[in-house]
Structures are given as C-alpha cells and as structure tokens.
Chains A and B, each alone.
Chain A
Amino acid sequence: MDSTTSDRLPLADTASDGLKIVIVGGFGVGKTTMVRAVSEIRPLSTEETMTQAGLGIDETGGISAKTTTTVAFDFGRISLNEQMVLYLFGAPGQERFWFLWDRLFSGTLGAVVLVDTRRLSDSWYAIDRLEHHATPFIVARNNFPGTTAHSLDAVRDALSLPAEVPLIDCDVRDRASAKHVLISLVGHLYSLSTAREAVSS
C-alpha cells in the first residue's frame, strides 16, 4: 500500500495552510468525478468512524447498545500558492452520516451541493443541514445527458432555494466546468465576506 505514496506529487515545503471545500450530494451524482477533474492528485479515499451509545440510529436494527458507524469519503488536493493548499472533500449526503458532516464542516470555506435533477430529493437533507450550520454554499446541477429539460428556476423552486444562494449548471467531468463551480463558490464567499466587512467597519 505504500506504493500509493511514492507516486504522489509532494506538497511544497512551504505549504502551511490547509483549506477545505466540501462537495455534498447523493450517491452517483458525480462528487468523485468532480474531485478528479480538478485535483492535482488522484482522488484518495479514507474512513472516519464513530462509536455511539444508543438505539434507533442504525437501520440494521442491531440489539447492541453501542454502534460503530464507518463512513468512507474521497478527497483531492489543489495547491493554490506556496502556502495555501485546498482540499476538496466528497461527502455522502445521506442523513445517517451527519457526524462526518459535522467534522468536515468545521472550518470549511464553504460547500457545493451537487444535484441530479432526476433525484432532487437526495439534496434536501444536505441543504437543510448546511443552512442549520450556517455554512455558505452554492448549488450546482450536474448535467447528465437528457436531464436539462428543467429550467434552473424550476430547480430552485423544487429545492426551495433562497434567491441569494447561487445555482449554476455544470458538467463535472470537464475540468474547466468543475473549476468554474469552485470559482463560483469562492466568488460567492468573497461577496459575503466583503459585505460583512462593510457592515462591521
């Protein structure tokens, strides 16, 4: 397994500030594809586990009072400059992974909610959770062939998305498009941040 290390592009010795952006969405919506499109390393996968006491959490209905939940997630990396390194995390949007979200969202710049118009309901929980955490986000519709019949306005309605949350189209297989999604998110964050600084100054 060490072989995965040797072929990895090493970070610059000067790298000192790790940043996070989280890409959330349902199964098969293209999270890993998007990470792969822009990452300087092949997407890697790892696991986070949580042991919790209590019943009624695990849908397998185990009788044990203690359950261990394990969730795998993917990530990639972009060196932004000599100091800043951006890590992109693809996180499953399902409700039972809330504990992973809480950890990933802590200190994250913001999030991209990747949606497939055929399964919009997969995104409801993710959007609700982000709003609850006050984590800024944008929504990107990944255009699978034959799914662009709905206008973005219709998608916004279906998701009950407030007008101030940007909603864009993308093709996450395409590097330029995936890059555009990230730029849209950070541009949104920049606007929020400058607006806040204007208020507080």
Chain B
Amino acid sequence: MVRRELDNEGPDRLYTVTRGRSRADDDLDLVTLIVAKAEPVAGMQSEHARILRLCVTPAAVVEISADLGMPVGVVKILLSDLLRAGKITARHPSSARAGRQLPDAAILKKVLVGLHNL
C-alpha cells in the first residue's frame, strides 16, 4: 500500500475544491463507473479537467478518488458537477437496483465463471 498525498490535503483546500458544499446530489456508488463525454477545456476547474482525462476509459468513483488523492465524498461532489454539465456519464452498478437482496443466480454464475478464468 502506498501512502498518498492525501495526508497533506488540508480541510481548507478540500473546502475550496468543492466550493463549500459537503454533499453530492447524485446517487453515486463507490463502484459506479464514470466515462468522460467531453475533453477538458481552458478555464475549467483543474480537478474537473483531471477527472475528464482520467475517465477517457471507464473508471470507478473509488479509483478516481485514489488518483486525485481526495476523499470519496469530495470526489462525488466534483462528479455531480460534471454530470449536471453533461461532461460525463455514470454507469450505475446493477447491485444498486437490487438493494439489499441477493443478486440473481444468473449474475453470480457469471461472477463465478469470471473468477474461475483468472
């Protein structure tokens, strides 16, 4: 495990990044996959630009958080901005719809096949 720059991020800095907001509006899971729909443009908040570059291929919310070195909650707020602006799409996990229920056997079968093929 690599110690990250996260430790050096002061609360003030994170407050600035999110412009004081503490909650994300959208229902983003840790494993919601984010894909960029637009290129970064000049004048864009630097964190937004970094996310767009990261998500040229799909990346989970938690991966973006690790790459940016920012807590998950802060990253969700930044992602909410980009979602509202139509700059990214979110591919929500099928498990989010299932709630606390066990996934369908058909899904679990696919997981088993995938694990056996490792």
Contacts and interface: CB of A to CB of B under 8 A. Distances in A.
A1 B105 contact: no
Interface string B40-63: 000000000010001011111011
Contact of B72 (A15, A48, A183): A48
B110 A46 contact: no
Nearest to B101: A196
Interface in B1-33: 1-6, 11, 22, 29-33
A89 B93 CA distance: 16
Given A4-B66, A109-B111, A47 B104 contact: no
A48 B73 contact: yes
A193 B31 contact: no
A190 interface: yes
Contacts, number: 162
A30 B38 CA distance: 40
B115 A179 contact: yes
B71 A48 contact: yes
Contact of A11 (B58, B95, B99): B58
A32 B1 contact: yes
B86 interface: no
Contacts of B85: none
A187 B2 CA distance: 32
Closest 4 CB pairs of A and B: A80-B114, A18-B31, A44-B66, A10-B57
8 contacts: A20-B30, A45-B66, A47-B6, A72-B6, A75-B62, A86-B111, A189-B108, A190-B109
Given A13-B58, A20-B95, A186-B112, 20 more contacts: A4-B66, A11-B33, A15-B33, A17-B93, A18-B91, A19-B95, A20-B30, A38-B118, A45-B66, A46-B6, A46-B72, A68-B11, A84-B114, A86-B111, A87-B31, A87-B60, A109-B108, A190-B112, A196-B102, A197-B105
